A and B are shown apart, each in its own frame.
Chain A
Amino acid sequence: MRWETWSDFWLMGGYGLYVWGSMGMTAVLLFLEMVQAHLAHRRALALARAEKALENP
């Protein structure tokens, strides 16, 4: 382990803003993409169910 304390870790030798700004944006966008993909999939399944209900009332 390279870090003595957690605050050293968050400071990143003075580059904290840049390093965590990069990691944070990556994490946020990956998370949003997964949520979006999941919601889109549920929407598509709902559409298919609606279609089925229309055809076999």
Chain B
Amino acid sequence: MTMRWFYYAAPQTFYGLAGRLWPWLAAIAFALTLAGLWIGFALAPADAQQGEGYRIIFVHVPASWMSMVIYLAMAFWSVLGLTFNTRLSGMMTRALAPTGAMFAFLSLWTGALWGKPMWGTWWVWDARLTSELILFFLYLGYIALTSAIDDVRRADRAGALIAIVGAINVPIIYFSVKWWNTLHQGASVSLTRSPSMAQLMLWGMLLMALAMWAYTLAIVCYRVRTLIIERERHTDWVQALAEVAGANA
């Protein structure tokens, strides 16, 4: 079993695996997005308090979840990378970062567009919003730091430190609405009590969340292949690949 994991952790093996996976994941993401948007915009009723304005939830909550999950995934790969010194770990962390940054930005953007009509303000410096902004800056810091260091392995190790230390911020974001007084509402979905949402609204939101999971897995599989080729382009196996050796440009 252990041997198997290290087998897939070899960039050469993972290149092929990721190449077979990403088209399926992309197709699943597309189908789930269509289903989620249909439920969210065609079937789900208006909200009793917020009218049609609540429909921002169908991107806001999934994007916010992904921004946190992706950062934890980066921290996970970074721990593996620092512990086992595997080449793939650094590449996985780097492949995750742009998508995480995008979801953190979308969380802030859609949150501002939701805050304006409902709270009367685009932004407040409260615990939830500020900690999410810090998450966005952590992503930017990770990307800036890793791209500023020329030696990729050193860059990976420096980035791994940001990813691991910054992960402390993720539970702070998640629990901020419980720990501090905030304008932001509490969790709409929790594992310990039944959701405070109508069934169709909940299904629309969960389908969109699954769609964004599938999208993230697809784009990370895609991007990690780019990184593998960039870093291993001098090796025989990369030069023997049909997409490198072939005449098609």
Give the size of the chain A interface in residues (CB under 8 angstroms). 33
* Distance of B57 from chain A, by nearest CB (Å): 9
Q: B55 and A12: CB pair below 8 A?
A: yes
Pairs A–B under 8 Å by Cβ, sample size 26: A1-B42, A2-B46, A13-B52, A14-B53, A19-B55, A19-B113, A21-B113, A22-B114, A25-B106, A29-B102, A29-B106, A37-B222, A37-B223, A40-B226, A41-B223, A41-B226, A44-B227, A45-B243, A46-B249, A47-B229, A48-B229, A48-B233, A48-B238, A52-B239, A52-B245, A55-B239
Given contacts A19-B55, A44-B229, A45-B243, 12 further A-B contacts (CB under 8 A): A1-B42, A2-B46, A12-B53, A13-B51, A15-B51, A15-B53, A22-B60, A22-B109, A41-B222, A41-B226, A45-B229, A51-B239
Binding site for A on B (CB under 8 A): 41-46, 51-53, 55-56, 59-60, 63, 98-99, 102, 105-106, 109-110, 113-114, 116-117, 215, 219, 222-223, 225-227, 229-230, 233-234, 238-239, 241, 243-245, 249
